[in-house]
A and B are shown apart, each in its own frame.
Chain A
Amino acid sequence: MSTPVLSARHLDAGHGRTVVVDDLTLELASGTVTALVGPNGSGKSTLLMTLARVLRAQGGEVLLDGEPIGRHSSRQVARRLGVLPQTAVVPTGATVREVVEQGRYPQLGAWAMLRRHDDGAMRRALELTGLSDLADRRLDSLSGGERQRAWIAMTLAQETGVLLLDEPTTYLDVRHQIDLMVLVERLRDDHGMTIVMVLHDLNQAARYADRIVALRDGRVCADGAPVEVLTPSVLMAVFDVDAVVVDDPVNGRPLFIAR
């Protein structure tokens, strides 16, 4: 395998003094979609935010293209790695276009961003998320799902090779969840992007991810292709859920049903 795009080596991570992720090692290959799953408090979001250097690692290190992520300036990292946290704040009165425009900051810099921008990257991001018609609407007047798509558009406007999404399907209805997952596949297939996302819906993870990493108590409990991870024994070990796994009749991926 070539150098992983993003990797964690003996990573300890958490908020403040509490350690949530404990001595975790993980390598993410270029051009793949990985789903992080696990029960509440298992450390998936903490892991994702530490991989994105939003949280500082308490021990071990995160490598981007084989180099410690702290070696480059935060803005240089932001040109290669985009992240969508769960806790984005909607500025009062800001329009969709104004929020998506902020995604251009890493590429253009503080000086150039003193001018208003409406470039190709922004238009593509709005188009990919189906927001072109809503671009001039106030973000705080939109539905939760439209807002979520605006945040995704912002990270797409960053034009990075790596994208980390923390529960991106939250607030989305079924239609938009599917649209988003199809978009993720497209970003991987057409643009060779590496995508890591925290997902709660295991069947969604199984259907759209190349690889599932299941966490419990800050450690990797199972890691591999959906067929390897979505098994009754793993579901019991990770989630304490008694389940049957069948083949998804549409594309043959595993599909779980709680017993």
Chain B
Amino acid sequence: MRSLRLAGLLVLALVVGVGLVLAHLFLGRSDLPPTEIVRVLTGRASAPAYEIIVLDYRLPRVLVGLGAGALLAVSGVLVQAVVRNPLAEPATTGVGAGAALAVVATLVVWPGHRLAYPAALLGALAAGTVLYAMGRRSLAVTGVLLGAVLAATTSLLLVVDSAPIGTVLRWLIGSLNARTPEDWALLWPWLLGVVPVAWLLGSRLNVWALGEPVSIGLGVRPGPLVAVVLLTAVTGAAAAIAAAGAVAFVGLVAPHVGRLLVGSDHRLLVPFAAVLGALLLSLADLVAFSISVQVPGVATDVSGVPVGAVTALIGAPVLISLVRRENRA
């Protein structure tokens, strides 16, 4: 019964995933006939331009969306597990703000986002280290305060030098517009590292979930576990933020939906949240893109509506209803 349900969910996720990828590939700003897209996908493109549009513009966008969504969701699960607070996510623990500040600082000094990855990683790691050092006893509260300080610093930086504000704003909100194959090439190794490690931590997180005294009693030492879990969460969040910007709510909503579907067992929750996060971010991006194309006047320039605006607008009400449902259950 249980495994049947899981298999059903997996098949459903696969169908939705394939549907999303196809939707991203077939829908676009330039009118490309579907037959041409099929030709490109089967390696029989009739013009190099078509190949570029599908494989270099549309494919990286959907892949980066899926990958960043998965990383944000896994980071969310890990952070929530460590602080045992279902409202935690990379964005509310200062880690996202640290990455954003570092990216903004580098953008102010060196325009162009080649340095975004190292900057986001360093910023997130620095914030994560401060979090671990300062708030071992109250990570949730320290994280919120740390995030506030870092966000204020970012704002200050933008007041001092407002030249890159357009680019920077996209980073802060989170956007998947104009992703390149290079972006995907930079992202997937992190995905391959972080998600399996998070899953391997699952059995320890199940013990940790029972509270610190119980987990010490069962032989799981808090110090090393919290350090490794935070490091993994920070790394995942940093990679996602470097690739897609500080997208809000995916790291919060995906673990919640995952818990409703498969329960709080981390051995199942980690992979399921990853899949859900990937689908959620990609779906939100499709919505963001459709608004940009369909609604006149919303996005007059090529860049379009940032996906982070959509995840926040949809994510917040969804989260409220989930929390209400959890409280009633």
Contacts and interface: CB of A to CB of B under 8 A. Distances in A.
B211 interface: yes
Contacts of A255: none
A101 B220 CA distance: 15
B210 A91 contact: yes
Given A74-B219, A92-B259, 7 more contacts: A73-B219, A75-B220, A88-B213, A88-B214, A102-B210, A114-B202, A154-B214
Given A93-B264, A94-B263, A94-B265, A54 B216 contact: yes
A74 B200 contact: no
Interface string A84-117: 1101110111110011001101100011011010
Interface string A35-69: 00000000000000100111000000000000000
B259 A102 contact: no
B221 A92 contact: no
A105 B326 contact: no
A103 B207 CA distance: 9
Given A88-B214, A92-B86, A105 B264 contact: no
A106 B210 contact: no
A78 B210 contact: no
Given A88-B211, A91-B264, A105 B84 contact: no
Contact of A77 (B207, B214, B219, B267): B219
A137 B86 CA distance: 22
Contact of A91 (B209, B213, B218, B220): B209
Given A78-B219, A92-B86, A94-B263, A87 B207 contact: no
The 8 residue pairs across chains A and B that have the minimum distance between CB atoms: A75-B219, A78-B219, A113-B203, A85-B213, A89-B211, A83-B217, A91-B209, A74-B219
A64 B320 CA distance: 50
A75 B265 CA distance: 21
Nearest to A73: B219
B106 interface: no
A232 B39 CA distance: 95
Interface residues of B, number: 27
A85 B214 contact: yes
19 contacts: A54-B213, A83-B213, A85-B211, A91-B206, A92-B264, A93-B259, A95-B263, A102-B206, A102-B210, A102-B218, A105-B207, A105-B220, A110-B203, A110-B204, A111-B203, A113-B206, A154-B210, A155-B217, A158-B218
A110 to B, nearest CB: 5
Contact of A94 (B199, B209, B217, B329): B209
Given A98-B265, A113-B203, A89 B209 contact: yes
Question: What band does the interface of chain A fall in when counting residues whose beta carbon is under 8 Å from B?
Answer: 35 or more
Contacts of A75: 218-220
A14 interface: no
Contacts, number: 92
Contact of A106 (B219, B265, B329): B219
A93 to B, nearest CB: 5
B218 A94 contact: no
Interface in B167-201: 199-200
B263 A93 contact: yes
Interface of A: 49, 52-54, 73-79, 82-85, 87-89, 91-95, 98-99, 102-103, 105-106, 110-111, 113-114, 116, 154-155, 158
Given A54-B217, A78-B217, A114 B267 contact: yes
Contacts of B220: 74-75, 105
Interface in B195-251: 199-200, 202-204, 206-207, 209-211, 213-214, 216-221
A159 to B, nearest CB: 12
Nearest to B200: A114
Given A74-B221, A114-B200, A89 B263 contact: no
B216 A74 contact: yes
B214 A89 contact: yes
Contacts of B204: 110
Contacts of B203: 105, 110-111, 113-114
Contacts of A85: 211, 213-214, 217
B267 to A, nearest CB: 6
Contacts of A94: 209, 263-265
Contact of A82 (B86, B200, B202, B217): B217
A87 B219 contact: no
A248 B211 CA distance: 40
Contacts of B86: 92
Q: Which residue among B218, B219, B259, B263 has the maximum number of chain A CB atoms within 10 Å of its CB?
A: B219
Contacts of B267: 114, 116
A117 B203 CA distance: 11
B216 A76 contact: no
Contacts of B199: 114
Contacts of A49: 213
Nearest to B329: A93
A85 B218 CA distance: 11
A112 to B, nearest CB: 8
B219 A52 contact: no
